[in-house]
Amino acid sequence: MDDLIQTLLDRQTILAALVAIATFATILTVTIPLFETDRFSRRMKIIASERERIRARERDRLNESKISLRRQPKAYMKNIVDRFNLSSWLGTDKAKKQMIMAGFRGPQAEVAFLFFRLITPITLFLLTLLYLFFLSNFGWSNIMKIGVAIGALYVGLKAPEIYISNTIAKRQQSMGRAVPNALDLMLICVESGMSIEPAFRKVSQEIGAQSVPLAEELTLTTAELSYLSDRRQAFENLGARTGLDSLKQISTVLTQAERYGTPLGQALRVVADESRQKRMSAAEKKAAALPPKLTVPMILFFLPVLFAVIITPAIIQVQSSMR
């Protein structure tokens, strides 16, 4: 036992033990990084594979769907449009953008728009001439009748554009009311750990009860995120299709987050607050404009009835006293 203690306390033994420990530590320090896996690269691969699975699932979902966004135009409409080459002198880029904003997509919508833009003015012009020259008895001169018919021709030419403009206004009004709630839902989805594609899909499913047009646009954006190679293009298309400032702001925020990696939750919260304040300001503006709008109806309809109710009993009493 004494020999073992003396051996352990020997300087050479201690030095050899320290050298062995140092050598083992050096080997361990050099070899550990070689066996460690790159966690960041592995996580990025998992995210990329998950994105590919989402895209494949969206493609299968769209392929299995029986409803197609693109409908083939009717034969007689397409024949007339092609025969008279209406797309070159009646179709404009502004009209195409307006049709997309109104929710009319595909070749069917463009062909129908060009067809009715040709048929409507001709029909109104002929009906006006028929009514003024053969059915009416206004005593107008022929020049005045032709002028009215030309006015009807112009109205028929602008009627499809007016219809599209009204449709755009209704869709934007419906989407504008639902945008703050959609942003709140998207914020909840993003902060819960969802990526953009599942968040868009979930919000489109939940917001459909409040605004069908907004649900359609978000669903189309989800499909574009699955198909398009550049995700920023899908966000820009969302703002261009809707024409709403709030959705354009959302597309800008998502594009910046995609490009620079900025925090998405805080940006969505700010945009949601601004959108809600805009909706409240619009409601307050309508409420403030209500008294001037009610002035004329009150003068025409309420005041005469009020005067009749107040004055009639007095007139009856005066007549009774005079008898």
Residue 119 lies in a domain: yes
- pLDDT at position 79 over 80: no
pLDDT band at 323 (very low <50, low <70, confident <90, very high): low
Tokens of 19: 């050298």
Q: Which of 165, 160, 169 is nearest to 90 (CA)?
A: 160
Q: Please tell me the distance from the alpha carbon of residue 238 to that of residue 243, in angstroms, as a whole number.
A: 8
- 183 and 168 together in one domain: no
Question: Are 142 and 229 in the same domain?
Answer: no
164 and 149 in one domain? yes
Q: Which two tokens stand for residue 276?
A: 């809600």
Same domain, 15 and 85: no
Residues 251 and 195 in one domain: yes
Whether residue 162 sits in one domain with residue 88: yes
pLDDT at res. 123: 92
* Domain-terminating residue out of 172, 189, 205: 172
pTM: 0.64
The predicted structure's pLDDT at residue 161: 86
Residue 305 lies inside a defined structural domain of this protein: no
243 with 168: CB under 8 angstroms?
Answer: yes
pLDDT, averaged across the chain: 79
Render pLDDT for 266-278 as a digit per residue (tens, 0 to 9).
878 888 888 888 8
Interatomic CA distance for residues 237 and 250, integer angstroms: 12
Is residue 320 included in any domain, yes or no?
A: no
Q: Does 202 share its domain with 245?
A: yes
Residue 293 is assigned to a structural domain of this protein: no
Q: Which of 191, 202, 201 is nearest to 221 (CA)?
A: 201
Residue finishing a domain among 150, 172, 194: 172
Residue 151 lies in a domain: yes
C-alpha distance across the termini of the chain, in Å: 148
160 and 90 within one domain: yes
Residues 187-214 pLDDT 10s: 888 888 888 888 888 898 888 888 888 8
Answer yes or no: do 164 and 210 share one domain: no
- Structure confidence by residue, pLDDT tens digits, 208-239: 888 888 888 888 888 888 888 788 888 888 88
Per the structure, the complete domain to which residue 34 belongs is given by: 2-64
Same domain, 79 and 50: no
Q: Domain check: are 183 and 279 in the same one?
A: yes
Domain end (from 172, 191, 216): 172
Q: Is residue 228 part of a domain?
A: yes
How many structural domains is the chain composed of? 3
- pLDDT grade, residue 127 (50/70/90)? very high
Does the residue 317 lie in any domain? no
pLDDT tier at 151, thresholds 50, 70, 90: very high
Q: Does 97 reside within a domain?
A: yes
